[in-house]
Structure 1
Amino acid sequence: MTKYYWFLLLLPFLLVGGAKTCIAQTQEMVQLIVHTTQPSSDKQTESHKASFAVYDVTKSFYQLRKKGFTVEETQQIIARQGTSAGSFLMEKLVKSNNDGEDVAIFDLRESTNQIGNVYLVNETTPIADAFVGSQNVVVVLPLYDSYDHPQKAIHLYPKMNQEPSAIVFEKKLVEEKNTYSIGEKIYYQLDIQFPNGIASEETCVVTDSATKELELLTESLKVHSEEKRLENLTFHSHSQGFSIAFNGQDLQDLAGKTVRINYQMRLRQDAIADQSIINQATLDIGTASLSRSTRIRTGGKWFQKVTTDKEQQVLEDAMFMIKNQQEEYLHLKDGKYCWKKRARDAITLTSDRNGLFSINGLADGEYLLEEIKAPKGYKRNPYAVSFVVKSMSYAINGQPSEPLKITNQKQETSFLFPKTTDEKISVGMIGGLSIIGSFIIYQKNRSKEE
């Protein structure tokens, strides 16, 4: 009986505690009021009205912030990623308010564990007379008014998607070639023709990313508009690429103008011949995303050392050097190929037990293979062998191409005399004949005496 009375005494306190919790939760709620970009017709049915969905993208937002992106850049990235960036919360049809405006109203938590929530607002069904839907909106809470008070009712006016066709975006190689040697610089150029309507956008991001065979030369990156260099831009770089963000003021100044981005990349030593080496650039404005890519390659050649006879037995331990048409030798220094007149310290290639050896990482062209050491028991080739590097001369669909056969002749051996100089051979012959002649004379004289 005593326990029962204690429960009755505690019950009012539990109820009060619960009431306080509800009040605290109410204070943490905000209202997102989403306005349609165009008024819908009074005759439209519910199925033809616009609807909006809200997604929680808090986790994605703070992960990107940790990588060094600004708030505006992160909002732009998540808006581009769309619904895949978060988890679905709710969806609502627009309804007319007291002022006759079509709005969708969402009641959402302002924060979780004292961390401001981030929401993505996505139009799921554009209104019937709109050709394209509105752009995704990313809201980072809490939002404050001009008096530094947290806003509890936030009005959103999503902008209409801009047709990608209104934007001209081009990427190209400056040089008229697409094959390169290891360590060689590749010159790239991006051209962006901003439409006049770009002034209404808040941000624009250009991202460039290459495969691991290329490395960005950061100091080469330059941005110009009408021959004027643009320097006060948000720039992030890594070994394989970069991103450039244009803010609202930048876009206002660039409306109707062309922006040119020039930069260089270098072909790394680990590049593999006859494989596509891709560099891709992406332009993101609102939810419009355009991508352009270029492909380059490097080349190579396989060889096989064999005998000149019909069996063509493979020969190992032959050594070679590579020369260009100017009789310069191929060297490797600091991860770059270079050509020098001297043979000392040049790259050497050695045939393995199967007679095979190869050169990788050369631009297409004609080269020379010079033998510097023959296999044991074989003659060294006195002349360099010409070979051509071209597409698929190194690999076809990832498999080694047919090797170029490099032959060697055996050294001749004599059973009568050792293979020495002619002088030594002549002396040996004279000495041998003298001994034989002396023996014959001795035999004749002995016979006469008898």
Structure 2
Amino acid sequence: MKSKLKSLIIGLIMVLPLLLLSFATPQKVSAADTDNSVKVTLHKRVFDSAQEAKQNTGEIMNDFGGTGLNGVTFKAYNVTDHYLSLRKSGATAQDAVTAIQSDAKDSDNLPSYAGSAVATETTATSKGEDGIAAFDNLNLKNSDGNYQTYLFVETDSPTDITQQAEPMVLTMPIYKTSDTSAINHDIQIYPKNVKSTPITKDLDEASKKDLAVTLPDGSTIYNAQYGQSFGYNITVNVPWNIKDKDTFNVVDKPDTGIDIDASTVSIDGLTKGTDYTVNKKDNGYQVVFKTTSAAVQALAGKSLTITYKATLTNNATPDTAIGNTATLNIGNGTDITSTPANGPKIYTGGAQFVKKDSQSNKTLAGAKFQLVKVDSNGNIVSYATQASDGSYTWNDSATGATTYTSDTNGLVALKGLSYSDKLDSGESYALLEIQAPDGYAKLDSPVKFSITKGSFADSNKITIDNTKEGLLPSTGGKGIYIFLAIGIVIMIVAFGGYKAIKKHEEI
């Protein structure tokens, strides 16, 4: 109901200046004016929101506002006979104009009295101004000397125009503002439209709440871990003339790392298979609307919402913004207008560790770790198990926990994690060493670390040192000479002591 009321108000605002212009000037003509042609130039203007009514003057209005809009097609019809018939039947000029406008609201089903269009023009750039459609050499009067009445109907417009402009009726003659006795043969009219964004894309509210993380600079980004699902909403503002289009579809293609479940695509108020079809395309999908469907045509000038679910896969690279773009395609034949809409970027977290010898700084292969969460006292509260698709589950037992082993470069990489800010209060991520490299002592306690935006960068690699275990010399090795030397010294000292005691006894 609100949408219909809003559309009605906008329509009245658009047409009011033209009505006022027609009624503000009396139907009279200067006897000296013998020119029977008139030129009507439409200056199509578009605004971001509904505007207050502004009186057209019939002349150039540099302060009218708005932006010139190209690509709008108008048709002009001569409705003089019907207008005069209404007047003769007692209708006022305003009532007659209103009746004709009402009859012409459906541009595809104009009243029979409109006949064929006397001219068709599409707005384009003229003399540096956008939105110009000039109707040249229209008759001021007919052969019976009656002033003409023209109906101007908008029959096509760009896809970001969801509401059709109200039909315009001009009754001749129109007089100059500078000389009210002089007929204006070069009439300037400023019809208005309100534009809308053809397509927008965003996460649904539940997913926003689940994924949102506030960074130190106060900005908000969306973070997910491998295997996590989230929902999107795509809003399409359906053009008023959608029934005249043979192409109406939306193609949704995410970047690598996001996989859309096409089976979850749904559109409230429309029936899959009857009003639209869904086709799987790579890791995205395409929705094709049937413009012949009564339900789709009923959405003309309104909006529809596409909803679906997606999952972050283990193809996502930590700290890389993963996008998701939906493109709206509307048109006929090869004349297609494509409008993209980007969804919010998704990020996943990670960290890299390098295992090294604490003395030589040599990287160490073969160290084995488990990913755990610890409380504020360093006690382990859960162990991570990572599935083949990269998703994580957390258990209070080490049974089945995934083991991560340092490679030949001493590297251990953890990917696809939620940021540390999303952990329970007091909890931290940590690596628990369960087996040290051969010849090295195993670490006594887990190594805490944080996952944040940027933590996976090479410059933020975390070094984990190991210390060699104490060494005893091998039999026959160089160490034996030390013991031999010590033994000889002891024997010499003992022998010297023995000789001294023997000599003392002889005395």
Into which bin does the TM-score normalised by the smaller protein fall?
A: 0.5 to 0.7
The 8 Å contact of residues 349 and 419 in structure 2, kept in 1 or not, is answered as yes
Distance 2:202 2:157 in 1: 31
How much has 1:307 moved relative to structure 2?
A: 3.0
Q: 1:298 to 1:132 in 2, by over 3 A?
A: farther
- Aligned partner of 1:361 among 388, 412, 416: 416
Asked if structure 2 preserves the Cα contact closer than 8 Å seen for 1:368 and 1:385, the reply is yes
1:158, 1:100 → 2: CA distance?
A: 11
Corresponding position: 1:324 with 2:324: no
Among 334, 338, 343, the alignment partner of 1:289 is 338
Q: Does 1:204 align with 2:262?
A: no
**Which residue is equivalent to 1:386?**
448
Helix, strand or coil for the counterpart of 1:259? Answer: strand
Aligned residues: 279
Structure 2: runs of 5+ lacking an equivalent: 1-36, 41-115, 134-153, 162-194, 212-221, 375-380, 421-427, 475-507
SS at match of 2:297: helix
Displacement of 1:334: 4.7
Unaligned segments of structure 1, at least 5 residues? 1-40, 45-98, 105-122, 134-156, 417-450
Identity over aligned residues, as a percent?
Answer: 27
Q: 1:30-45 alignment to 2 at 5 Å?
A: none
Letter in 2 for 1:160: S
Alpha carbons of structure 1 residues 329 and 100: separation in structure 2 relative to 1, 3 Å: closer
For residues 288 and 100 of structure 1, what CA distance do their matches in structure 2 show?
A: 27
Amino acid at match of 1:169: I
Opposite residue 364 of structure 1, the aligned amino acid is Y
SS class of match (1:360): strand
Distance across 1 between alignment mates of 2:346 and 2:229: 12
The answer for the alignment partner of 2:235 in structure 1 is 191
Distance 1:162 1:257 in 2: 12
- Per the TM alignment, residue 231 of structure 1 is displaced from its structure 2 partner at its CA by 5.5
Would the aligned equivalents of 1:331 and 1:340 in 2 still touch at CA under 8 Å? no
Residues 64-87 of structure 1: CA deviation (Å, up to 9, x unaligned): xxxxxxxxxxxxxxxxxxxxxxxx
Paired letter, 2:266: K
Partner of 2:158: 161
- 1:222 alignment partner in structure 2: 266
| Aligned-partner Cα distance in 1 for 2:130–2:473 | 99
Provide the TM-score with structure 2 as the length reference.
0.48
What's the counterpart of residue 145 of structure 1?
Answer: none
Q: How does 1:425-440 map to 2 (within 5 A)?
A: none
Quick one: which amino acid aligns to residue 285 of structure 1? I
CA distance in 1, matches of 2:413, 2:469: 26
Q: For residues 273-310 of structure 1, what are the alpha-carbon distances to aligned partners after superposition, in whole Å with 9 as ceiling and x for unaligned?
A: 2222111011233354332112112221110112334x
User: Could you say which residue in structure 1 is the equivalent of 2:280?
Assistant: 237
Q: What's the Cα RMSD here? A: 3.8
Which residue does the alignment assign to 1:407? 465
Shift of 1:198: 4.4
Equivalent pair of 1:305/1:356 in contact (CA under 8 Å): yes
Using the size of structure 1 for normalisation, the TM-score is 0.53
Any idea what the Cα deviations from partners look like across 1:14-63, whole Å, max 9, x if unmatched? xxxxxxxxxxxxxxxxxxxxxxxxxxx9769xxxxxxxxxxxxxxxxxxx
Q: 8 Å contact 1:305–1:315 — kept in the other structure?
A: yes
Q: Is the 8 A contact 2:313 2:389 kept in 1?
A: no
Q: Quick one: structure 1 residues 341 and 313, their matched pair in 2 at CA, closer, same or farther if it must change by over 3 Å?
A: same
Paired with 1:216 and 1:243, the residues of 2 have a C-alpha distance of 11
User: Are 1:208 and 1:281, in contact at CA under 8 Å, matched by a contact in 2?
Assistant: yes
CA shift digits 1:222-257 (9 cap, x unpaired): 1114xx766521222223211212214343211344
Which stretch shifts more, 377-386 or 331-340?
A: 331-340
Cα distance in 1 for residues equivalent to 2:310 and 2:272: 21
Counterparts of residues 22-421 of structure 1 (less than 5 Å): 131=131, 159-164=156-161, 165-167=195-197, 169-174=199-204, 175-176=207-208, 177=211, 178-194=222-238, 196=240, 198=242, 201-225=245-269, 232=274, 233-246=276-289, 247-248=291-292, 249-286=294-331, 287-294=336-343, 295-309=345-359, 311-325=360-374, 326-334=381-389, 336-365=391-420, 366-395=428-457, 400-413=458-471
TM superposition shift of 1:190: 1.2
Aligned-pair CA distance for 1:271: 2.1
Note if contact 2:203-2:230 (Cα within 8 Å) is conserved in structure 1.
yes
For residues 290 and 236 of structure 1, the distance between their equivalents in structure 2, rounded to whole angstroms, comes to: 19
Is contact 1:204-1:283 (8 Å) kept? yes
Alpha-carbon distance, 1:355 to partner:
2.1
How far apart are the structure 2 equivalents of 1:250 and 1:401?
A: 56
Match of 1:423 in 2: none
Aligned-pair CA distance for 1:405: 1.1
Corresponding residue for 2:486? none
Cα distance in 2, alignment partners of residues 193 and 101 from structure 1: 32
Q: Deviations over 1:192-220 (max 9, x none)?
A: 34355545545421221112322221222
In structure 2, do the counterparts of structure 1 residues 250 and 206 end up closer, same or farther at CA, with 3 Å as the change threshold? farther
Is the 8 Å Cα contact of residues 381 and 408 (structure 1) preserved in structure 2?
A: yes
Three-state SS of the structure 1 residue aligned to 2:440 is coil
Code of the aligned partner of 1:374: A
3-state SS, counterpart of residue 131 of structure 1: strand
CA contact (8 A) 1:302 1:401 kept: no
Conserved in 2, the CA contact under 8 Å of 1:236 and 1:243? yes
The aligned residue for residue 62 of structure 2 is none
Secondary structure of the 1:277 match is coil
Q: Distance in 2 between matches of 1:234 and 1:132?
A: 39
Deviations 1:348-399 (A, max 9, x none): 222233322211222222421111110122111121111111212113xxxx
